[in-house]
Amino acid sequence: MSNKTKIQVAGVGGQGVVFLTNLIVEAALIADIPVATSEIHGLSQRGGSVTASITLGENTYGFIENAGADFLLGLELLETQRCLNYLHKNSVVVADNFKITPFLVNAGTAKYPDTEAFVQLLKPQIKQVIVIENITGIKDILRNMFVLGVASKVSSFPLSAAVIRKAITKNVADYNLETTLEAFELGRNYCNQKTNNK
């Protein structure tokens, strides 16, 4: 991989996609890595899909092309699947096994896609798929930090835990800081636990 890294973040309005993106940007600035992002705002508060593209490195401008994402951080499984076209052979997917049913599924006119099949489809085609099975002990709104924690453990992730911690400290209000950092650390421990269990 070149010195460029592209990270796609996907979720639903209210899940903290923008917040997660802000942290990655802040961390990159602390690490002195050129960074740019692209997001679509507007209807996100109304429960629609929200995605953000983050590009790190020279000569990138925040845009991710098809088969261009080195990392996909998915906060919701359907939205994670919706970013399939950005993945390539060397991509790493970190996805929270969290579902928010869209109205069409709720109304019974569409089916929530088979997530197991999705994972099976991905596994042979990309470098690594981490589906976080069961996040407990933290508020739902901090699941994004857990996902970031898991991603930061992947060796090719361009930002160190230290700079991410600094970014969190800089961005999060004092009364939420402890729980936010805790969620991040729980995410970092997640992979260890999994390996230990095996």
Partner 1 sequence: MLPWKYNKKMLQQTIDILSSYQIPKKVCMMGNVAVARGAIEANVDGVFSYPGTPSTEISEVFSHVNSFQNRKENIENYPEQTANKIYFEYSINEKIALEKAIAYSIGNKSALCVMKNVGMNVACDALMSITYQTIVAPLVIIVCDDPGCHSSSNEQDSRYWGKMASVPIFNPATPAESLKQTKSAFLLSAQLKLPVIVRLTTRVSHTRGVINYGKLSKKNSEASFERVPEHINIPAKTAAAHTQLLNKLHSDYFNEHGVKYNQIVHQTKNKKQNANIGIITSGVTTVYVKEILERSALKNNYSLLNLGLICPFPTAIVLEFLNLPLKKIIVIEELDPIIENDVRIVAQENKIKTAIFGLGFSTLIPTGEFSLDSIEKALLNFTKDQSLKNKNVPIKNAENLVKNLPLRPPTLCAGCPHRATFYALKLAVPRNIPDVILCGDIGCNGLGALPPLKMIDTINHMGMSVSMAQGLSEAFSNSNQSNKTVAMLGDGTFFHSGVTSLLNAIYTKANILVIIFDNRTIGMTGHQDHPGATHLNKYHQIDLLPFIRGMGAQYVESIFPFNLKDSFRKINDALATKGVSVIVAKSPCIFLPEFKDGSIHRKKIVVDHTRCNTCDNHEDKQIACARCYSPLNNLSRAKLKITAINHVPAQKQLCPANICNHGFFNSIIEGNYSEAVKMVRDKMLFSRTCGDICHRPCELLSNNKTIVPIKKLKRFVSSFDESFFDFSNAIQQTKNAKKKNKKIAIIGAGPAGLSAAYDLIREGYAVDIYDKEEKPGGMLKYIIPFFRMDKTGLDYETSVLEELGVKFLCSKQLGKDFTINDLSQKYDAVVLAIGLWKSKKLEVVENNIPDTKKHTALSFLKAINTDSIQANQPLRYLVIGGGNSAIDSARAAKKINPSNTVTLVCIESRENMPAFEEEITHAIEESIEIVNEYAIEKVVDSNNSIHCTIKPLLSDKTQLITCDVIITAIGQSPNTELFSELNEQTDKNSSLININNENGFTNFKNVFAAGDVCNGNHQSVIGAIASGRRAATGIRQLLENYKYGYEGIAALKKLNQSSNPPLNPLKEEKLPPFGRVEVGQTSNFKPQTSKDLLERIKGMDLYQACAKCNHCIDNFGCPAMIKVNGKIEIDYQKCTNCGLCIDVCPNNAITFIEEVIPV
- CB < 8 Å & 24+ apart, contacts of 30-38: 30/163, 30/166, 30/167, 30/170, 31/159, 31/160, 31/163, 33/57, 33/158, 33/159, 34/58, 34/60, 36/60, 36/61, 36/62, 37/62, 38/62, 38/63, 38/64
169 binds partner 1 (CB under 8 A): no
57 binds partner 1 (CB under 8 A): no
Pick from 8, 51, 60, 152 the residue near partner 1 by CB under 8 A: 60
What is the 3-state secondary structure of 112-177?
A: CCCHHHHHHHHCCCCCEEEEECCCCCCCHHHHHHHHHHHHHCCCCCCCCHHHHHHHHHHHCCHHHH
Pick from 3, 45, 160, 192 the residue near partner 1 by CB under 8 A: 45
Residues 176-195 that bind partner 1 (CB under 8 A): none
Residue nearer to partner 1 on the CB measure, 84 or 161: 84
Stretch in the footprint of partner 1 (CB under 8 A) among 32-40, 128-136, 150-158, 185-193: 32-40
88 binds partner 1 (CB under 8 A): yes
Pick from 97, 102, 128, 138 the residue near partner 1 by CB under 8 A: 102
Pick from 7, 9, 20, 35 the residue near partner 1 by CB under 8 A: 35
Q: Which residue has the tokens 């060397």?
A: 90
Return residues touching partner 1 (CB under 8 A): 12-14, 22, 25-26, 28-29, 34-43, 45-49, 59-68, 78-79, 81-85, 87-90, 101-108, 110-113, 121-122, 125-126, 140, 171-173
